[in-house]
Structure 1
């Protein structure tokens, strides 16, 4: 089937019997400024409506030095937290006449450099980045050309704008309550120790144990990555070494918890006495037979703060707060937690 040709200002001008400049002035709302008659203006607008004319975003961006697009860089879209925040950001962009371009890095620094370069070549107005890099050197260079907002992850001593959930104190509060009655065994399953989410959630876990008067056994801490398969494997190995499920377990993300729950379901452990805790919440946790206490991020607020900060930077305004750690909410579901 032959592809229909998109109507242009030249086509509108020809059908309306006016010059291209006259058609352009009318369609851009400048007919009064250029003293174009009402009859000519109406004729151009009628033709444009009949032809379903839509202005070219590329032409608009050339004229305005804006592309009206934002770039979002995340490790993966299957991660529930990133997926929820991406959805919120896309809605905000759409409602404000902008487009969100999403790129995934798979926690690969070379791939991150490639996708960031691709987004810059597409002339995005700004970058929101959950980076796998360990320092901000590259993004400091990029920020001299266009705004950069770090999201979810921080780099040591960075001065770049940042939006993330507070993880240390919230994790400590959760772990302390559980550890006060479950003092002899409390394991931790996390992602890569080099990235800030793992470090912060582990710091909160250790602080919670300390406040509860529980001495940390180094063997309680296990690392992998944030894929469900890693959670499955670490939990399987833990159950094999103990000969049973652990008494209490803090899981550092929804993705890891998915792997833990899959193992428990396959081995009929969902009715066991294990006390599960997790960073990140999921609405399905309310429907499970096993009760999971969680630290819940507010993805809607995270997206709003990222978007508002980015728009301020695009407009060359200094954000009110350059680095923002948003409070998380604790969801208590386990009977022991509810009774304390």
Structure 2
């Protein structure tokens, strides 16, 4: 079936092509086209099933009204919640969102940036992974609106918004210390990401501030993208083979979920046998008895702030190429595990 063109709509409505274009692009009042005529053109277009050619609109206006969202994982609860809020915020600004994930694969991230660029998206919202530095730097050098979330590259001058990772860890550690726990383990992911490094560094600093000497045996690094059963086995071994361990801090919620499974399988009671806190909350932590204490990231704040920063960049006439770097306050949610 032949696609209905703007020329076809104009002919059916009995108006010029330019008049039809002005009406269908929301410029009827500006061009002093009568309300009755505008309504007639719109009615004809709807009845005929007219759909504007998006690429042609993009070339004409310089905007696609589409944003590219690249996250680490579509399945992760943090990223899913982030994406939902961003989609809602984008809609309020009049934009649609193309949503994809890297699974922390830099090559995939590079291909996604190329794909989104070819689709002429108006801006990028990215949770970056190691190896994407050059790609992000190129976007910035081309003056493409881009905001990083959850992580960033110190060597790349780009806008970003994330939680204050160090403050989150300190809040959890101070709670442990207030309960008298001193031999505190730390389970993290074996990947060189800024946010993970900041969390581990804050763990060390908290120990030092309380006069506790760091012990490498109290730190477990679980391989990223490893087999779930292997990860649980590693955590089991860590908990069983660390004498006197009285508390453990999990650096991400998916590690925390594996930790809950491990602690349960070992028959340990929380907090009597082992206290636990996890960075990044999850619905499971609220529902699982006795409730898992967690550092809650301000997901809504991250998403809304990122959208605001992106919109500011897109309004270049007023704001220029602004670089804003924002860290938001985390919240400690106390439950029964610690």
Query: Which TM bucket (shorter chain)?
Result: 0.7 to 0.9
Aligned to 1:108: 105
Aligned to 1:325: 327
- Contact kept, 8 Å, 2:218 with 2:242, in 1: the verdict is no
5+ unaligned residues in a row in structure 1: which ranges? none
Write out aligned runs for 1:30-179 (5 A).
30-31=27-28, 40-51=37-48, 53-133=50-130, 136-145=133-142, 146-179=144-177
What SS does the corresponding residue of 1:70 show, helix, strand or coil?
strand
- Contact kept, 8 Å, 1:134 with 1:195, in 2: the verdict is no
C-alpha displacement of 1:233: 3.6
- State TM-score, norm by structure 2: 0.87
* CA distance in 1 between partners of 2:177 and 2:234 (Å): 21
C-alpha displacement of 1:66: 0.9
Change (3 A) 1:285 1:33: closer
**Deviation string, structure 1 residues 229-263 (Cα, Å, up to 9, x no partner):** 265243122134348x9421100111111111223
- State TM-score, norm by structure 1: 0.86
Aligned to 2:254: 255
Matched residue count:
332
Change (3 A) 1:41 1:142: closer
Question: Superposition RMSD on alpha carbons, in Å?
Answer: 2.8
Change (3 A) 1:102 1:270: farther
What SS does the corresponding residue of 1:224 show, helix, strand or coil?
strand
**Deviation string, structure 1 residues 68-96 (Cα, Å, up to 9, x no partner):** 11112222122221121111111111222
C-alpha displacement of 1:135: 7.4
Change (3 A) 1:39 1:187: closer
Change (3 A) 1:313 1:209: same
198, 207, 210: which is aligned to 1:212?
210
* CA distance in 2 between partners of 1:208 and 1:111 (Å): 37
C-alpha displacement of 1:219: 0.4
User: Is 2:18 the partner of 1:21?
Assistant: yes
C-alpha displacement of 1:318: 4.6
What SS does the corresponding residue of 1:22 show, helix, strand or coil?
helix
* CA distance in 1 between partners of 2:24 and 2:294 (Å): 53
* CA distance in 1 between partners of 2:46 and 2:102 (Å): 42
Segment drifting more, 177-186 vs 153-162: 177-186
* CA distance in 2 between partners of 1:309 and 1:208 (Å): 32
User: Is 2:300 the partner of 1:300?
Assistant: yes
C-alpha displacement of 1:225: 4.0
Aligned to 2:283: 283
**Deviation string, structure 1 residues 35-82 (Cα, Å, up to 9, x no partner):** 656664443233234345454443332211011111122221222211
**Deviation string, structure 1 residues 272-293 (Cα, Å, up to 9, x no partner):** 6311111101233222213422
* CA distance in 2 between partners of 1:176 and 1:37 (Å): 68
- Contact kept, 8 Å, 1:147 with 1:313, in 2: the verdict is yes
Runs (4+) of structure 1 exceeding 6 A deviation are none
Change (3 A) 1:76 1:32: closer
